[in-house]
A and B are shown apart, each in its own frame.
Chain A
Amino acid sequence: MIPAFSTFLALRYLLTRRINLLCVLGVAFAVWAMLIVDGVFTGFVKNIHTDVRSSSPALLLTDLPHDTSYEALREQLEADPDVTTTAPRLRHHGLLQAVQRSSARLRAESSQLEFDRARTNNGFALLLGIDPLREPAVVDLEAWLSRGPDQIARRGRIDPRATVFDETDLDRRSEMLVPDAVEHAARRRAGLPRDADASRHRSAWPGVLLGWPRVFANARASAGDPFDVLCVAFPTEDASGAVMRPHTTRMAFAGWFSAGSRLFDETTVLVPIETLRTMLGHDAYDPNSVDLVTDVAIEPRDGMTQDEVEALTDRLRKIAQALLPQQANRCSVLNWREQNETFLSAVAQEQAMMEIVLFVVMLVSAFVIYTTLHMMVTQKVKDIGVVAAVGGGPGGIGTVFLLSGVVVGVIGTALGVAAGILSAVWLNPVNEWLYAHVGVELFPRGLFDLDEVPCHLAPEWVASVAAGAVLLSVFVAVLPARKAARLDPVTALSYE
């Protein structure tokens, strides 16, 4: 039983001391910060996960030797009943340069490395060769192509959506060719040789799809514009030793994509896999050539459980390994998380760091409660003696201070939770209002390409923060309470 006097004195002491208001506000602030900052962070992380997920195939066979042929792998992999389909991928480093008539303009826009802005202002590119006939089955290319112009539209420029995958002629589609008239117009703009009769022109440049962030360096690019793509094939041995063979191919700008993951969009350009194979010395018409792949994207059947996918992953890896030469390194089959492990774990680590910082804020406010209560006990020694003389037992006396801590903790937590939930609800309206009327943004949405600040307050997180804050304030109140309970009444009474 809590004696009435404990509650009564605790409330009197709290109400007559302004420092307790500070304690309440401290707890409220810590709780609020833990909720809202972590809520926004969790929201961002959720977004990041969605984005990363949409930029990656469900499973990816990788770490293959660089003369691996797709056909043999495909047959065996697709023979597994749990595999819906596969798509070949060929990754290679390259350089990208817009072909322009005016050398002055070229100089003005020439590639520059700008490290201070997160923008692709240079021609370096990760060339990702895809099979336009197969790739749509493993990633949502439709979405990639419509998000690309959306991203750019957000920055005030209207670009058409790429149409290369809508081409009905399969040969033309697999080369990602732009419509004949479009290429002809582009040749005319660039002053390049062309048929005088536009209707007789047939597109010849394979298409290239750019990640939308490249719009900053290629502001004038419009459909069909020529780009020179350079890459260096894997070294081959000849009489004089290893030689590097650079190879340049002219391609036509076919449109923008946005896979969702900023990292992917900034680095990658999509090219037809056959074009890239040819550049690497494996022309499809050469009987000795190999249909090169560095990775195979795999789409498992729908509705598989976690365990089934894991079993499948294991199985596919073994199938693939068996097909590789004896001395080949171990290949791997990665799910979308593993494909982006470095990035995702960096994000997770950042969140953990931030939670630690917030926890320290919480500890500081708990410490303020502790010192306040401790001070209160010291100031109230005489009162404690009086209460004992009037008949207060040690338990009741300790409870005075324990309750003080609990009341501060509970009120602070309640305020913090209320403030946290309200700010989660009003975050976007307030952010927008501030932007519209004051011109400042609390959360710069543009930095993250978001329409609104994501905020995800998980009920379990709210509950555990609240419970943690209350427990912590009880915990720090225990020591001062014990000190008060153990005071000798006579000593307390004669305390000066």
Chain B
Amino acid sequence: MSTEKPPVLHAADVHKSYAIGNRRIEVLRGVNLTINAGETVALLGASGAGKSTLLHLLGLLDSPTRGEVQFSGEATSDRSAAYRAKLRNRHIGFVFQFYHLIPELTALQNVLLAQMMGVSVLGYWRARRRSHAAARQMLERVGLGERLHHRPSELSGGERQRCAIARALLANPSIVLADEPTGNLDSQTAAGVVELMFSIQRERDLAFLLVTHDESLAQRCDRIVRMKDGVVIEQEQVR
């Protein structure tokens, strides 16, 4: 059992429904979930269970229809889109199944993009050396030291995902939300990426939410959460 740590994200009775025509689809029906600092949580469930939806809500990309998502104990649903964007930028890193890199930008620029959010052009320019050094270091850490100036189209799938990981981690967030990060990779590459993520998680003592279909991968996390039809049906503390 891990010692008690402060919660980073907390979902309190979160509901999410979509209106399609005049029909409402209840995707999440009252989810309660807490992720504490430095904790790794695996989120499992059949396709369509609402995992990605929950991940987007926890990442403040979307707002629940009902209920509340708290970040570090602070309610977020009544905050402006700009404020929530700022929280995402400073504290939350995303890793997606399909990498989601910007094709026009090089690996280095994709990583640097996160550094350009909260600052003016001038502010960014003043700090550019430091940001560049940090981004380069981050890319070296994920093994892309030789690929800094390659565009995503010039990188392999594994390399792209490493680049996305570097981007998610550059701002030194308190939590990383990963939605099937290895779903699009062959098993060998996937293993490499997983090792990378877990080693960085340990180094930095990050909180980590990992959506996956892979039971053995889930077993490496501190806790396993299972969802079905929009509700959490089981939480299992692994270690």
A contacts, CB < 8 Å to B: 1-5, 7-9, 12-13, 16, 382-383, 385-396, 488-490, 493
Q: Are A391 and B62 in contact (CB under 8 A)?
A: no
- Judged by a CB distance under 8 angstroms, whether B86 is at the interface is yes
| Residues from chain B with Cβ under 8 Å of A396 in the complex | 85, 117
Q: How far is the CB of A375 from chain B (nearest CB, A)?
A: 15
Query: What 1/0 mask marks residues of chain B from 90 to 110 whose CB sits below 8 Å from any chain A CB?
Result: 100010100011111100010
Residue of A nearest to B103 (CB): A383
User: Does residue B1 face the partner (Cβ distance < 8 Å to A)?
Assistant: no
B120 is an interface residue with CB less than 8 A from chain A: yes
Question: Interface digits, B67-90 against A, CB 8 Å rule (1 contact, 0 not)?
Answer: 000000000000001100110111
In the complex, chain B residues whose CB is within 8 Å of the CB of A393: 81-82, 85-86, 117
Neighbouring B residues of A392 by C-beta, 8 Å: 85, 89, 117
Q: Is B113's beta carbon under 8 Å from chain A?
A: yes
CA distance A387 to B94 in the complex (A): 11
The reply to whether A5 and B61 form a contact with Cβ atoms under 8 Å apart is no
Decide if B145 is an interface residue (CB 8 Å cutoff).
no
Q: Is the interface of A mostly helix, strand, loop or mixed?
A: helix
A-B pairs, 7 with minimum CB distance: A391-B89, A4-B124, A5-B116, A393-B82, A393-B85, A4-B116, A391-B117
Nearest chain B CB to A20 CB, angstrom units: 13
Residue in B81, B88, B125, B171 whose beta carbon sits within 8 Å of that of A389 in the complex: B88
What residue in chain A is nearest B92 (Cβ atoms)? A391
- How close is A353's CB to chain B, nearest CB, in angstroms? 44
Asked if B19 is at the interface (CB within 8 A of a chain A CB), the reply is: no
CB <8 Å contact, B62 and A489: yes
CB-defined contacts of A394 to chain B, threshold 8 Å = 81-82, 85
Besides the contacts A13-B104, A489-B62, what 9 more A-B pairs have beta carbons closer than 8 Å? A4-B117, A386-B102, A389-B88, A389-B96, A390-B114, A391-B117, A392-B85, A488-B62, A490-B62
Instruction: Point out the residue from B81, B101, B118, B120 that lies within 8 Å of A386, measured CB to CB.
Output: B101
A8: which B residues are within 8 A, CB to CB?
109, 113, 116
Question: Which parts of B152-178 form the interface with A (CB within 8 Å)?
Answer: 167, 171
Instruction: Report the bound CA distance from A111 to B85 in whole Å.
Output: 86
A13 to B109, CA, bound (A): 13
Give the residues in chain B near A386, CB-CB below 8 Å: 100-102
Nearest CB in chain A: distance from B48 CB, A = 14
Within 8 A of A (CB), among B166-193: 167, 171
Q: Does B20 contact A (CB under 8 A)?
A: no
Q: In the complex the two chains form, what is the Cα distance from A396 to B124 in whole Å?
A: 15
Tell me whether A3 and B118 are in contact in the complex, defined as CB-CB below 8 angstroms, given that A383-B102, A389-B61, A390-B113 are known contacts.
yes
User: Interface on B for A, CB 8 Å cutoff?
Assistant: 56, 59, 61-62, 81-82, 85-86, 88-90, 94, 96, 100-105, 109, 113-114, 116-121, 123-125, 167, 171
Distance A1 CA – B123 CA, assembled complex (angstroms): 11
What is the CA–CA distance of A393 and B90 in the complex, to the nearest angstrom?
13
- In the complex, chain B residues whose CB is within 8 Å of the CB of A385: 100
With A and B bound together, what is the CA distance between A396 and B61 in angstroms?
A: 15
Q: A390, B117: Cβ atoms under 8 Å?
A: yes
Can you name 16 A-B pairs with beta carbons within 8 Å? Answer: A3-B118, A4-B120, A5-B113, A5-B117, A9-B102, A387-B113, A389-B59, A389-B100, A390-B167, A391-B86, A391-B89, A391-B117, A392-B85, A393-B86, A394-B85, A396-B117
Rounded to whole angstroms, the CA-CA distance of A2 and B119 in the bound complex is 8
C-alpha gap A488/B81 in the complex (Å): 10
A4 cross-chain contacts in B, Cβ below 8 A:
116-117, 119-121, 123-125
A395 to B104, CA, bound (A): 21
The reply to whether B56 and A391 form a contact with Cβ atoms under 8 Å apart is no
Whether B61 pairs with A3 at a CB distance below 8 angstroms is no
**Smallest CB separation, A398 vs chain B (Å):** 11
Residues of A within 8 A of B86 (CB): 391, 393
* Chain B residue at minimum C-beta to C-beta distance from A389: B94
Min CB distance B83 to A, Å, is 8
Instruction: Flag if B100 contacts A3 (CB, 8 Å).
Output: no
**Nearest B-chain residue to A3, judged by Cβ:** B117
Closest-by-CB residue of B relative to A492 is B61
Cα separation A392 to B109 with both chains bound (whole Å): 15
